[in-house]
Amino acid sequence: MASTSNILNEKNILKYSKSFQENKPFKFGFMENVFEELFYQELYNTYPKFDNSWIRTEEPDKSTYRKFWFNEKKQIIDKKRINVVLRRIKNSSKKYKASSLITERIWKLMIKNFIILENKLFKKPKK
C-alpha cells in the first residue's frame, strides 16, 4: 500500500482550498483528483473482482450485488490490514501534531463498530 504522503494530491487540494473557503452559502465543493494517480491505481487493482461469490439482493428500493466477507464458520477479520491502518493513523497524528493516543482509540472504536455493523448487515445467506 502507498505511504500516507503518496495518497493525497496535496497540490490539487491546496489549489482549490481558497475557493472552498470562500464558497457561499456553504464551504464545500467538488474537486477531481483528490488522490494521487498511483493510489487510485492500487485501489482499483486491489478492489474485489466481480465473480460467483457476489450475491444479488433485491430490496423494495434497490437491486444490488453484495460480497459477503466470511467463510462457512465465521467472518474473516483482516488484522493485518487493521494494523496497517492504525500505523498510518499514528504516523499522521505525529505529522499533524495530534494526540496519537486519542486518534488511535477513536479509530479502534470505529473499526470495532464497523465489524459489529457488518455482522448485523451481512448475515450468512440462506441456501
Q: pLDDT per residue over 102-114, tens digit each? A: 888 888 888 888 8
**How far is it between the farthest Cα atoms of the chain?**
55
Strands (DSSP E) contained in the chain are 54-59, 62-67
Average pLDDT, integer, range 38-42: 87
| Reported confidence tier of residue 125, pLDDT bands at 50, 70, 90 | low
Evaluated on CA atoms 46, 8, 110, 95, the torsion sign reads positive
CA atoms within a 13 Å half-sphere pointing along the CA-CB vector of 36: 13
Helical axes 100-121 vs 79-95, angle rounded to 10°: 150
Distance CA 124, CA 71 (A): 9
Q: CB–CB of 68/125 below 8 Å?
A: yes
Reduce the DSSP state of residue 52 to 3 states and report it. coil
pTM exceeding the 0.85 threshold for the entire prediction: no
| Closest C-alpha to 70, from 49, 55, 86 | 55
CA angle 61, 63, 64 (to 5 degrees): 130
pLDDT at 68: 66
pLDDT at 3: 53
pLDDT at 53: 76
pLDDT at 75: 45
- Locate the domains of the chain by residue range: 70-127
4-35 pLDDT, tens digit each: 567 888 888 888 888 878 888 776 777 888 88
41-93 pLDDT, tens digit each: 888 888 888 888 777 777 777 788 877 665 544 445 667 778 888 888 888 88
